[in-house]
Structure 1
Amino acid sequence: MGALNNETLLQKIQERFHEQVTFIAEPYGLLTVETSRENIIDVLSFLKADAELQFIYLTDITAIQYSEQEKSIGVIYHLHSLVHNVRIRIKVFLSEQDLNIPSATVLWHGANWMERETYDFFGVNFDGHPDLRRILNVDDMTVFPMRKEYPLEDPNRVDKKDFYFGR
């Protein structure tokens, strides 16, 4: 195999997973694919264990919310092949009614804190996580601060009225 690039990487993923991996894009040259919660561990295992790919470094696990979509919470994994200096982003979208996804700690021990942070800020439950609890916010907090559930500004503030700004 020659130098690993996005085209070769995508071809290997599609050969292995066919229609289980969708939404292929390359924003800023970063190959981005989407899969389901049922397939995420298989996809991550393949990328890590494949002798040609060697995506052995889990850079980050995070989440994002697109409140206008049906499946509004996206769990995002960034992997890096240190051997080939190639990166890939894998996304899994979940509905707010069912925020459960398998834990990647079975593959990377370092996923532990990343998953705890994602749980802490977005409320994503990582099934099989060894110690899923808040890591940055107080334990008795009942909300998840990165969700878009609140207005951006307090409508009761008097110093934000338009007439103060000549409008």
Structure 2
Amino acid sequence: MEPQNPQTSQPEKELHSGTASSPIAVALQRENGAWVSKVVEALGETTIIVPREHIAGVCAFLKTTSGFEFNFLSDLCGFDRGPEEAPRFEVNYHLFSTTKSHRVRIKVLVNEDDTHVPSVTGVWRTANWHERETYDLFGVIFDNHPDLRRILLPDDWQGYALRKDFPLRGYEPYSLE
């Protein structure tokens, strides 16, 4: 039985490589069969899960390929699935084509013991601050990033504030005085 989407009571289509119906996923598989791990179509949106070592190549392909032209990285964000999950983290890339008016979500899954992901700052300059924010709040390390350092929290901050196991009151004694 397919998982139900609680908002619409419609089944989510979880498609594995080789059965993708999205033209974007089909093109990625045709270009390099290793680029697509899984395709999920739900609520009219397509999410393509990509092995992390291929994220920069996939993004460059989607930006430069005629017919897709994903020239706008509208968001890049981290997500902590919880310390009991494996892989624990997700990095989500929300892409939009301003010329074709279509969008896609690319997702990379990251294990807690190795949080390295290739940077896509060479594809979209705006990824610079998005990657810094994801590093700052989740601890995902973007390899070959031109300036990977904290962007929101103080330099001496301990830990990663948006991880699900981060203490609600931080590591310092809490006082209203």
- Tell me whether the two structures share a fold, i.e. TM-score over 0.5: yes
Flag the structure with larger Rg: 1
Counterpart of 2:138? Answer: 122
Unaligned stretches of 5+ residues in structure 1: 1-5, 154-167
* SS of alignment partner, residue 106 of structure 1: coil
Partner residue, 1:34 = 49
- C-alpha distance in 2, partners of 1:25/1:32? 5
TM-score (norm 2): 0.78
CA distance in 2, matches of 1:8, 1:119: 32
Q: Counterpart in 1 of 2:99?
A: 83
2:160 is matched with: 144
Aligned residues: percent identity? 41
Structure 1 Cα separation of the partners of residues 157 and 151 of structure 2: 11
| TM-score for both structures, normalised by structure 1 | 0.83
Q: How many residues align?
A: 148
Q: CA RMSD in A?
A: 1.6
Deviation at residue 10 of structure 1 after TM alignment: 2.5
Q: Residues 97-146 of structure 1: CA distance to partner in whole angstroms, max 9, x if unpaired?
A: 11111111111111111011101100111111111111111110011010
Aligned residue among 17, 23, 41 for 1:8:
23
Structure 1 CA distance, aligned partners of 2:166 and 2:141?
21
Query: What is the aligned counterpart of 1:113 among 114, 121, 129?
Result: 129
The 1-side partners of 2:109 and 2:22 are apart by 24
Question: 2:89 corresponds to which residue?
Answer: 73
Q: CA deviation at 1:9?
A: 2.1
Q: Secondary structure at the match of 1:38?
A: helix
More helix by share: 1
Q: Name structure 2 gaps, 5 residues minimum.
A: 1-20, 170-177
State the match for 1:20 in structure 2. Answer: 35
Q: Does 1:48 align with 2:48?
A: no
- Residue 81 of structure 1, CA deviation: 1.1
